Amino acid sequence: MTRELFYADAIREALAQEMRRDKNVYTFGEDIGDYGGVFGVTAGLIKEFGAQRVRSTPLSEMAILGEAVGAAVHGLRPVPEIQFGDFITVAMSQVVDLMSNYHYRNGTALPITVRIASGGMLNIGNFHSNCWENWFAHVPGLKVVVPATAYDAKGLLTASIRDDNPV
């Protein structure tokens, strides 16, 4: 039996499924709490999981990813969201210099799944449309996932959250 599932709904289902399965999984980012995220991906999650596990943050990608590292070091499984791919560049050091090397340096897990909206579809030209996946694919210690379908998005997000190293 098949069903039609939109991409954003697949991501929301995967997040909810993993948050139900593991109390250490939480998600945070700009506007994802009460607002439900710019694409509606986290809509309704705050009602089920509360403001501590679905949390809106200040506009600071560096702080968002810094929190993710600290939380993962202390046993949580953070799923930070970077609202648009264009904004990741201000936090490259967190990803490339810290997250990617953590397991190699310390021999312990760093279970972080960074969600980044990537590509166009908003018809706003060079704003909020860049794709940085190729940058990260060349960094040892990172796994890069770029799902093509809603089915892929749900399965790959689930696998990514369960992974003990940065995705």
Active site (annotated) includes residue 103: no
Of the residues 74, 103, 128, 138, which is catalytic?
128
Residue with tokens 């706003």: 124
Name the residue among 159, 145, 144, 142 with its Cα closest to residue 95.
142
CB 132 within 8 A of CB 118: yes
Helices (H), 22-121: 45-49, 61-73, 92, 102-106
C-alpha of 66 from chain center? 13
Helices (H), the chain: 7-21, 45-49, 61-73, 92, 102-106, 133-137, 150-162
Q: Which two tokens stand for residue 157?
A: 């997000």
| Spatial separation of the C-alpha atoms in residues 145 and 119, rounded to whole Å | 14
Residues noted as catalytic: 128
